[in-house]
Amino acid sequence: MKSLLTTLALTTALTLPGLAQARPVTLTTTLSGYGGDGAYLVLYVTDARGAYAGTLWMAGDKSKYYQSLGDWYRATGGNPAQINGITGASVGAGQSLKITLDLADALFDAGYVLHIDAAVEEMRDSPNEIALPLTSAGAGKPVRGRRYIANFRYDM
């Protein structure tokens, strides 16, 4: 696992050169009224080759549940270093999570894809519920999720 994380770190460093320029981006995830406990959501990015590039936000603070966020967990091993300082509470059914951050310019129109894995206690896991290419043209256009996410959009 350690070697995998080292590889991930090196890959990230090699594939995200010079991401100094940034722009404010708002990521809005609105959950459906699925009628269960709060959802764990993780928002992360893969590069043009499909390799994990990094995490933007983890909604849910108990590491014991992270295995339910299957694709993210496989990419990271659940390493808390991937989400230290970017972790908050889970999100209730019907609620809307709005994340505002300065996102590196080079992520747009370069093959990067934003993913969301979702999970709810006692309900079916939903990895890769959202997979949305980061493009300038895609901003402001909501997309539907499959199970727990009513819609997701990013604005800049």
Partner 1 sequence: MKKTLTALAILAAIPAGMALADDDCKVPLDEWQPKEAVSRLAAENGWTLRKVKVDDGCYEVKAQTREGRRIEAKINPKTLQVIEIDDEDDDDAGRGKRDPAPVGSVAPPANGLFGTGAPPKIQVN
Task: List contacts with partner 1 (CB under 8 A).
Answer: 12-13, 16, 19-23, 40, 45, 53-58, 61-65, 68, 78, 80-89, 91-92, 95-105, 107, 119-122
User: Cα 43 from chain centroid?
Assistant: 1
Nearer to partner 1, 13 or 137 (CB): 13
Please name which of 76, 82, 77, 97 lies closest in space to residue 32, comparing C-alpha atoms: 97
When the beta carbons of 22 and 143 are compared against partner 1, the nearer one is 22
- Tell me the closest approach of the beta carbon of residue 86 to partner 1, in angstroms: 5
DSSP structure class, residue 64: G
Query: Which residue, 116 or 119, is less far from partner 1 as judged by CB?
Result: 119
Judge contact between 96 and 30, C-beta under 8 A: yes
Q: How far is the CB of 19 from partner 1 (least distance, A)?
A: 5
CB of 151 within 8 A of CB of 144? yes
Task: Name the minimum Å distance from CB 2 to partner 1.
Answer: 11
Nearer to partner 1, 120 or 149 (CB): 120
CB of 130 to partner 1, least distance (A): 17
Euclidean distance between CA atoms 129 and 131, whole angstroms: 7
Tokens 């993913």 found at: 115
**Nearest distance, CB of residue 88 and partner 1, angstroms:** 5
Amino acid at 152: F
Cα separation, 53 vs 46, in Å, equals 5
- Looking at the Cβ atoms of 9 and 128, the one nearer to partner 1 is 9
